[in-house]
Structure 1
Amino acid sequence: MLSDFPTLLVAGLVLLGIFYLGFLSLKINFPSVILYILFGVLLADYLSHNEILHFVSEIGIVLLFFILGLEFSMKRLGAIAKKIWSSGLLDVALSLGVSTLIALGFGMSLFNAFLVGGVAYATSSSITAKLLDDKSRMANKETEFMLAVLIFEDLVAPIIIAVLIGMSAGGGEFAAIDLIFILAKVMLLIGLAILFGKTIFKRFEVFIEKIDDEDFKFALLIGIAVSFGGLALLLDLSEVLGAFLAGMMLAEIGKIERVEHAVIPVRDLLLPTFFLSFGTSIELGAGFPMPLLLVTLLIWSILAKVLVGIIGGRWYGLSKRVSLRAGLSLCARGEFSVVIATVATGTAQILSGIYIIAAAFIGMLLFDMAPKITNKVYGKPKRKKKDLRVPTSKDEKQIY
């Protein structure tokens, strides 16, 4: 029994398991994230209530969103927000709204139906961002649109979580004043990030260049990310939202690669534990409850994201080809879905867990196949041929 082993030994074995699965994923060309999740499912009986694993995984996901936030200065985020709001609202209507109605149609209560809709709503930012990097698609035309959709979801998902927690505490009821209060806290957190970015961290680049000892630099930067994530938790919001805003604060400095260079190695070490921890929260021993709802929800939620890409991408200014590729790449579910699923109990919790694993796996496959599917629908893109022929005297006469 792992519970009888010293904590240090368990931590070492888990890290060795993560290394082996990461190495295996490279050998068999299979997404490492899925292997980490399945590893967690296998260890669920031993690590499902391990507080150390949960804490370490929380820091890993915080650092991921901190790094992501570094890519979006206030100016860039404002420009993206003007272009993405319509696509973001379409995403809410299709992924959250219609999924909730489907669950209601299968006889679920309003609370459980809204919870299932929330689980089906948000694309996994961590899985998508990792796949974009692994597949060398960060420079693609659709990447900015995809990240903008993810950011919109990252702002909406914490509100969904807070509403669900409020409904759960109130026996499934939630007053309008509670929603207003939640929105006010989100705006307060965003306002603090903007204020700190324009004041305290305005000369942060000069300050960080004076730090010669890398150890102190790690402590400072990770401390900022974790502290702002903790502040979000203090306000009953998502630590992921806080971490993203912390990254935005530092995105205003000139050379963000200094910050990334210090934080990325720690993120890469801790992030796999998040997916492992997620796997330990899934209980598959109770079977597959409501299989018809599960299949219907999977089909619709994937179709909804594809439609968001096709329609929203066109609104964003992308071509039909690029819009389809974006939609096919937005189907994986992950961290926010897991957080929302923890609010559930009984059948809804088991259903949500199975859905998340299936949607994460299908989403990764579609991400990998997106370029091929796009080429089959629209044909392979034609490369423009350049005329490298040396002009003859006949050609010169025709010109004149």
Structure 2
Amino acid sequence: MNWLSEFPTLLGAGLVLLGIFVLGFVALKTKFPSVILYILMGIVLAGLLNHNSILHFSSEVAIVLMFFLLGLEFSTKRLGAIAKKIWSSGLLDVGLSLVVTMFIAFGFGMDWFNAFLIGGITYATSSSITAKLLDDKGRMANAETEFVLGILIFEDLIAPVIVAILIALSSGESFTGNDLLILFGKIVGLALLAIILGKTVFKRFERFLLRIDDEDFKFALLVGISISFGGLALYLGLSEVLGAFLAGVMLAEIGKIERVESTVTPIKNLMLPTFFVYFGTTIDIGSGIPMPLLLITLLIWSVVAKILVGMVGGKLYGLSKRVSLRAGLSICARGEFSVVIASVALGSIKVFGGIYIIFSAFIGMLLFSYANKITYKIYGKPVKKKKDLKVPGS
């Protein structure tokens, strides 16, 4: 249609922001994951927005800022402490949610690249959905929460590496064992550069920030650092997501990261929904749901895998059977990291990934909400310990 091609880019971007406000308000009132609503909005408006350059640019910057802020939470010292405590459960998660899923996809006739891509999509739990539900349901102080957050952190570390490998593999050129070694060499080199800069150049960065009174200049500096490091990663043939994450790790060494977070977070919060909307515009479901049998199989397995991670990994972590099961039921939702990985896909695989994310996020939200009731059904309600009452005069 001619009027679609003449639809102003700026008008489209403005309407997207208004739509994000409406859907965000609906999500807030209904406690329904906003990520799903944003993706659905993109699918519905794909004809209007799939060539919107402002939306595309905004989504790129948003995902860089998201991973930059994520990296700020992980100083090298904290990374080491988390690794010591959660590594066994984290590796179990990789094996069940990523590797086993790869073999399932391969068994359905996919090549190894697409099987790895599907495994990446099904691997990571949604940090945003899970954290929001923990807060909404008043479960932040529960016994399993530290374990759940540990798993999320482990996945947050693995996901950027998966994206970097997928970006390299999707370049279209032949990929040999030497190429894989070179790729890992680039990843290690970029990580070392971030650590060295964090320990040297940015060690006194906080003092420098304190001298900058104008928030606009401060924003330009911080966003410039994150985007530049993301761009350096792209130049090296890696993912901008990994570069942005390492930029965050680099600045995590400063004394008070709250100063950085308070400057960047408002812009990230404004722009991040555009990433999910843009992803939705790339999904064409006009020809129906591709590979429905594989979709059903992976939806079932991905739930089973996370429950096993909770039950087995929770026991390794020192949790009781009841608490371990509740933890597993609480980490089934997929979201933002799956979207990032699915964005690497093309054609029917991208459609498949988008539909999987929508269904798995909804299923995960339901399982989280009913986690207590399910554990009560299986193990019964916990017996409250009786306190010895002292009778006066006894």
**How big is the shift at 1:295?**
0.4
1:203 aligns with 2:214: no
Per mean C-alpha deviation after superposition, the further-off stretch among 158-167 and 97-106 is 158-167
Question: Which position in structure 1 is the counterpart of 2:186?
Answer: 185
1:352-391 paired onto structure 2 within 5 Å: 352-381=353-382
Per mean C-alpha deviation after superposition, the further-off stretch among 63-72 and 19-28 is 63-72
**How big is the shift at 1:385?**
6.1
1:327-360 Cα offsets, whole Å, 9 max, x none, are 2232222344334434444443332332222222
**How big is the shift at 1:37?**
1.3
- When normalised by structure 1's length, the TM-score is 0.87
Question: Which position in structure 1 is the counterpart of 2:285?
Answer: 284
Question: Which position in structure 2 is the counterpart of 1:398?
Answer: none
CA contact (8 A) 1:329 1:366 kept: yes
**How big is the shift at 1:288?**
1.7
SS at match of 1:97: helix
The whole-number CA distance in structure 2 between the counterparts of 1:138 and 1:63 is 26
The whole-number CA distance in structure 1 between the counterparts of 2:137 and 2:72 is 21
- Count of matched residue pairs: 392
1:1-400 paired onto structure 2 within 5 Å: 1=3, 3-132=5-134, 135=137, 137-138=139-140, 140-169=142-171, 174-381=175-382, 392-393=392-393, 395=394
**How big is the shift at 1:368?**
3.3
Per mean C-alpha deviation after superposition, the further-off stretch among 42-51 and 128-137 is 128-137
**How big is the shift at 1:3?**
4.4
1:17-38 Cα offsets, whole Å, 9 max, x none, are 1111111122233222211111
**How big is the shift at 1:219?**
1.8
CA contact (8 A) 2:4 2:47 kept: no
CA contact (8 A) 2:276 2:339 kept: no
1:207-241 Cα offsets, whole Å, 9 max, x none, are 22222222222222222222222222222223222
The whole-number CA distance in structure 2 between the counterparts of 1:383 and 1:217 is 53
Shift in alpha-carbon separation, 1:253–1:321, aligned structure 2, 3 A:
farther
Per mean C-alpha deviation after superposition, the further-off stretch among 369-378 and 43-52 is 369-378
The whole-number CA distance in structure 1 between the counterparts of 2:192 and 2:133 is 31
Shift in alpha-carbon separation, 1:370–1:75, aligned structure 2, 3 A:
same
Percent of residue pairs identical: 70
1:260-284 Cα offsets, whole Å, 9 max, x none, are 2222211211111111112112111
SS at match of 1:191: helix
Per mean C-alpha deviation after superposition, the further-off stretch among 47-56 and 107-116 is 107-116
SS at match of 1:246: helix
Per mean C-alpha deviation after superposition, the further-off stretch among 129-138 and 316-325 is 129-138
- When normalised by structure 2's length, the TM-score is 0.89
Shift in alpha-carbon separation, 1:207–1:334, aligned structure 2, 3 A:
same
Amino acid at match of 1:152: F
**How big is the shift at 1:287?**
0.6
The whole-number CA distance in structure 2 between the counterparts of 1:114 and 1:289 is 18
Amino acid at match of 1:110: W
> CA RMSD, aligned part only?
2.7
Per mean C-alpha deviation after superposition, the further-off stretch among 257-266 and 105-114 is 105-114
